[in-house]
Structure 1
């Protein structure tokens, strides 16, 4: 009979959470510093650090304290580790757009988002040249969307191609400003250079954003 994997000792996850919080609060730390702050042994601290590295939450670096002295190994948060902490970006975006709308009118929000679209399109257009098949351009778009947390997929159906987003990383903003979704649709149309039609929208309470492409 195969033995079940041992459950983590009580308090293990809490210790890892505290460790991440210490690195967030104090910046890159050595294993010795973290062990002292957590009041655990250095080998115990290293085990937690190893686990957090495997989870992609921490990375090891070699730095000189204060820019001089002997190099030492420190542990710092990765982008994924930073993302584990609460952010207020979405509420900040809503506030900024609200002030733009109040000061300059509803059309100004769409102008701002349109300018953002133009910048994104200029950056991504070389990855989706018109000479490539639509399937390749669509897959390139899916790859970019997934880098930003959209959990996108593309599939071929009898009626043509579809693009589905299973997550909306901008949901808070999209619920307040439908212009964001309109700008998103315009961006996809411009990048793919074919008609794109949205059929469902997460911001409207549906389970996914679903598009017909071509």
Structure 2
């Protein structure tokens, strides 16, 4: 396997870790496999394979399932990629999304892209809003939002900066999982800014933007 996305836990170098890369690649190419099948394909022992699988399970990249071979026979334990594991392989979703948005703009006008993204923002606000009640302290709400964003690949953290005895919250995204889209459709970034303001219940100001060549997306909260 030659490409790991930023959202995937880093796998250190070395022979052992290269074996784990090969293991992930086998599961990806050949579907759910037993530890015995993987050991035979890797040409390593079954106990060693199970150790690698255990490490990958801890990283959230593979999961164990119980299946019947071809729907018959005795149940057996097999290993499959999790959604996070699937994310370790290159995808072309960004290219597809850009093409779709271009067609939306061409067919229905430039403002149609804004309306589509506004609808998406409204849905996200409904889904996440229940986990960010107004009764929560501001920094807790920001932390919950950062956690959700990190699960989506943004590698988000909250900075609490104290100046002159006054604390300021910053939501910082150290990765943009939709960079190709954001560069061509700034409406996406505008929609995200609106979403964060709605979820946090206060003014949110973007100070830096990855799509503009800066190192992170940094939002001042409040």
What interval of TM-score do these two structures reach, taking the shorter chain for normalisation?
0.7 to 0.9
| CA drift at 1:43 | 4.2
Gap runs ≥5 in structure 1 = 1-7
Aligned to 2:100: 96
Q: Of the candidates 173, 182, 190, which is equivalent to residue 174 of structure 1?
A: 182
In structure 1, what is the Cα distance between the partners aligned to 2:54 and 2:169? 43
| CA drift at 1:88 | 0.9
| CA drift at 1:37 | 3.2
Q: Deviations over 1:12-50 (max 9, x none)?
A: 444433322221122111122223334444445444434
Does 2:29 align with 1:25? yes
CA distance 1:68–1:91, change in 2 (3 Å): same
Gap runs ≥5 in structure 2 = 1-11
Paired residues, number: 206
Aligned to 2:215: 207
Q: Of the candidates 114, 119, 125, which is equivalent to residue 115 of structure 1?
A: 119
3-state SS of 2:130 partner: helix
Bigger Cα displacement from structure 2, 32-41 vs 136-145: 32-41
Q: Deviations over 1:47-67 (max 9, x none)?
A: 443443344322222211122
Q: Of the candidates 50, 63, 66, which is equivalent to residue 59 of structure 1?
A: 63
Aligned to 1:141: 145
In structure 2, what is the Cα distance between the partners aligned to 1:132 and 1:206? 31
| CA drift at 1:135 | 2.5
3-state SS of 1:212 partner: strand
In structure 2, what is the Cα distance between the partners aligned to 1:99 and 1:74? 42
Aligned to 1:184: 192
| CA drift at 1:70 | 0.7
Q: What is the TM-score normalised by the length of structure 2?
A: 0.82
Q: Of the candidates 65, 76, 84, which is equivalent to residue 80 of structure 2?
A: 76
| CA drift at 1:137 | 2.1
Question: Quick one: higher RCO (CA 8 Å, sep 6+), 1 or 2?
Answer: 2
In structure 2, what is the Cα distance between the partners aligned to 1:95 and 1:104? 14
3-state SS of 1:127 partner: coil
Q: What is the TM-score normalised by the length of structure 1?
A: 0.85
